[in-house]
Chain A
Amino acid sequence: MSGASRGLGLAFAQALRDDGYAVVGLARTLPPDAPSGINFASCDVRDADEVRALTRAAVRDRGPVAICVNAAGIASMNHFVTTPGATRQRIMDVNYGGTANLMQAVLPGMIRARNGRIVNISTVAVRYDLEGEAAYVASKAAIEALTRTVAREVGDFGITVNAIAPPPIPTALLSGVPERSVEQLVGRQAIRRMGTAEDVVNVVRFLIAPTSSLVTGQVISLGGP
């Protein structure tokens, strides 16, 4: 699991630990008070070699990776025209690149096992083409396309690949977004309330369940279409 040190990633890690899974949490910065029962490893998901090496180490220590959740992500609110190129690239490298790197690291083992669950994180901002988040939206749209395409490529190996598009959730990622913008965004949803980490955890649990073996290539949008 990437992005495991805070926000949704931390919530996922704690939930799956509580469900009895052996969780390895990758994060660029390790949490100062690391929750017990989760094995954290410092990792820059933009570095494919580092991601691959950590995955191999996790497999050696704990056995095959059965579930992968890509929760690492960054955002930067700005009009597209005034978004620095370096920022635009960094957002793409962390969000899409990090997701792709971890998927490529875990998929060989899942293919060998003929079984696996991959859950990626997109955002409501993609379906609303949210102004002020062009770089972020583009990176998450790339994740959605990757999710659908890879789902087709690995379906015959018993592996499902899905994404969740959460609505605004009170995490550090949202702290830079003006309150009015959040209210407007929530106002466009069918169910007009902010999400909670538990809302998203609920969907992660559904997607990784053995009984969800026919659910793949989906982007599940919370809050409505």
Chain B
Amino acid sequence: MDRLSRDEVVAVITEALSGVADDLDAGWDGALGADAPILGDGGLSSLTLVAAIVEIEERMEERLGTTVTLTSDAFWSARRSPLATVGTLADFMIEEVSRD
């Protein structure tokens, strides 16, 4: 499988986050881009995060034909949380897919 483009993955993630934030009326401070925080200050609540993870997995499969599981041990035990920013999550997902 060709290596995923970071821009494509960032686009899928931001689209998913935006959709979930609108749906749950969570709001979003600042621009949604690769540097946007997912967890922590300016990021998502735990409720919205759950919905976001689900949405990101689904959209990765629908848009890019790629199955990524974000509930793995590797995801939650990574030294630097993949959920720090949209960019770190994209990097994690690309790395995971390239390992398969």
Contact = CB atoms under 8 A, between A and B. Distances in A.
Binding between chains A and B: yes
Interface residues of B, number: 10
A104 B50 contact: no
Contacts, number: 17
B54 A108 contact: yes
Contacts of A153: 50
A180 interface: no
A contacts with B: majority SS: helix
A156 interface: yes
B51 A111 contact: yes
A157 interface: yes
Which secondary structure dominates chain B's binding surface?
A: helix
A104 B71 CA distance: 10
B15 interface: no
A157 B71 contact: no
B27 to A, nearest CB: 16
Contacts of B47: 156
Contacts of A111: 50-51, 54
Interface of B: 47, 50-51, 53-55, 57-58, 69, 71
Interface of A: 52, 104, 108-109, 111-112, 153, 156-157
